[in-house]
Structure 1
Amino acid sequence: MLLYNGQLLLDEDFALTLPNRGLFFNDGFFETLVWANGGIRYLPHHVARMQRAAAALGLALPPELATAESLTYTLGQLTTGNAHRLRLQLWRSGGGLYAPETTECSWLATARPFQPNDAPLATAGFAETVQTRMSPVSFCKGPESLTYVLAARERAQRSLDELLLLDTTGHVAETVSAAIFWIADNCLFTPALATGCVAGVRRAHLLQVATKHGLECEEGLFQPTVLLQAETVFTANVAGIRVLNRVGEVEWTTGSSLLVSIRAWEAGQ
């Protein structure tokens, strides 16, 4: 089953109508959400990012998606009580060329079984073919998707488990589909949004939880050498936290007790 503009349909009964500005111009954005224990994980962070993305693109969020309560009710129609991975795609309605004709948007929500993934990443490297770029919409998911498609392609071609992206000035930004963090000197580090990385909801939640428990956190512009000197490096997205065992020739053989605490703090939320 799927939801298209609020209508519950079988997958085989769904068809996109043309013109479609999402298809033609990538005029929209998407969210990847996890439904578990009767609700949406990191719900306030999803709502905040959706509202920010809609404002940046000049879109009016439909009432059934605009608040935490309405979003939960709407997407809950696709769940059966089990954990689900939800994808919510929004695009501008109407036609036209580059210049939009309306602020209204259409939307599509789909659900698939959710499988968490906290498995360590054995091998990783820095991207050689793509870079992130700061833009008015780089914080949300969708407008810059081709960057991550190409990054995933490079990752596969190099037979790596993960690829670390740098921005145009060589600062560490993120991975193909997750935020990047590292721990050094009892401080939690992550790249600033100025690198053009996605404002991930798990990223926001981790920073919130760490700050609440008194852990020093630093968002900034960091060269790869800073990351390579860290005690522990890990990625984080809605699917899980994954420790990096190796980046290039640098290998980490022991974990961080501070990361154990961070996991426990999250679980206690």
Structure 2
Amino acid sequence: MSETDTVYTYLFTDPDWQKIDQISIPNRAMNFGDGLFETMVFGGEKIKFFGYHIDRLKRGLEVLKLEIPHSSLERLESWILEYFAGQNLRIRWNIFRAGTGKYTPESKVGIQTLQIQKLTLAPLVKSQSSFSEQVSLYPSPWSPFKTLSALPYVMAGQERIERGLDELILLDYTGKVAEACASNIFWRKGNKVFTPSLSCGGIDGVGRRAILSKIPRLIMEGIFGPNDLLKADQVWVSNVTGISYLEKIDSLEFSTERWDPLSEIFE
């Protein structure tokens, strides 16, 4: 099973998800990145944090002025359970605008696809990390959502590989900490936890929301520079697949021991 050989689609004209061999091109996902996606974890019985995914998706659809059938939202989890019960899966749910056109859309209708593959969990520890030297993030009405226009993260991933790093920390255009390559970032000083405000251009991550919901009184959201982060006792990044502790940022070392308040959030 891989992302390319297990693909399903849901159209306004279909009663349910249908397996497909190919997607029509050209389309607005390819031409303009005109759409959204959610990366979800199915643990054999349910989609983890499914309510958070649905909430973020609905808000993103509203911002992009896209529409999909409510039945597809309500049916997805039960459909996955019906066909894939007992399997640990990574599910990428894409929604892109129907029609072609040029920059100006011709439709509000969203075409949906699912890409399904075996789940790979986040590593518990990432050994070497640093701040990006090439990529800056810019806040916008759509920056909290996972849009198909993900070029900043593509370029960040390339920079991370070129520099031989396990993680890359992204700054906003003013030099403030925003997030990591494919994760939100947190750091702890004593029992106080800090994470960047979404006004710095980061994604409103599902893992981020789970952590904020678990320990709300311990976390301060704000605007922080790299030096604020480097004073921490512990640093970690998170997405829906879990938490990874950062062992080193450049030459500075941080604790990678499991912090008890984070236990069981992603289990």
1:1-269 equivalent positions in 2, closer than 5 A: 1-5=6-10, 6-9=16-19, 13-66=20-73, 69-211=74-216, 215-252=217-254, 254-255=255-256, 259-264=259-264, 266=265
The change in CA–CA distance for 1:153 and 1:255 in structure 2 (over 3 A counts) is closer
Q: Please state whether the residue corresponding to 1:127 is helix, strand or coil.
A: strand
Once the 2 structures are TM-superposed, how far is the Cα of residue 76 of structure 1 from its aligned partner? Answer: 3.5
The change in CA–CA distance for 1:160 and 1:224 in structure 2 (over 3 A counts) is same
Letter in 1 for 2:31: F
CA distance in 2, matches of 1:267, 1:161: 21
CA distance in 2, matches of 1:267, 1:135: 29
- List per-residue Cα deviations over 1:26-83 (Å, max 9, x = no partner): 11011100001411101111011000110010001222333xx433124435524211
Letter in 2 for 1:167: D
The change in CA–CA distance for 1:120 and 1:31 in structure 2 (over 3 A counts) is same
CA distance in 2, matches of 1:20, 1:38: 34
The change in CA–CA distance for 1:78 and 1:200 in structure 2 (over 3 A counts) is farther
Q: Please state whether the residue corresponding to 1:129 is helix, strand or coil.
A: strand
- List per-residue Cα deviations over 1:233-259 (Å, max 9, x = no partner): 00111122111010012112x3467x2
Letter in 2 for 1:251: E
The change in CA–CA distance for 1:141 and 1:195 in structure 2 (over 3 A counts) is same
Structure 2 unaligned residues grouped into runs of 5+: 1-5, 11-15
| Percent of aligned pairs with the same amino acid | 32
Letter in 2 for 1:240: G
Letter in 1 for 2:260: V
CA distance in 1, matches of 2:173, 2:79: 39
- List per-residue Cα deviations over 1:3-46 (Å, max 9, x = no partner): 1114432xxx5222234111111110111000014111011110
Letter in 2 for 1:95: T
After the TM superposition, which parts of structure 1 deviate over 4 Å for at least 4 consecutive aligned residues? Answer: none
Structure 1 unaligned residues grouped into runs of 5+: none
TM-score norm. by structure 1 comes to 0.90
CA distance in 2, matches of 1:25, 1:255: 41
CA distance in 1, matches of 2:114, 2:266: 27
Normalized per residue, the structure richer in strand is 2
Q: Is the 8 A contact 1:64 1:74 kept in 2?
A: no
Letter in 2 for 1:85: R
Corresponding pairs, count: 257
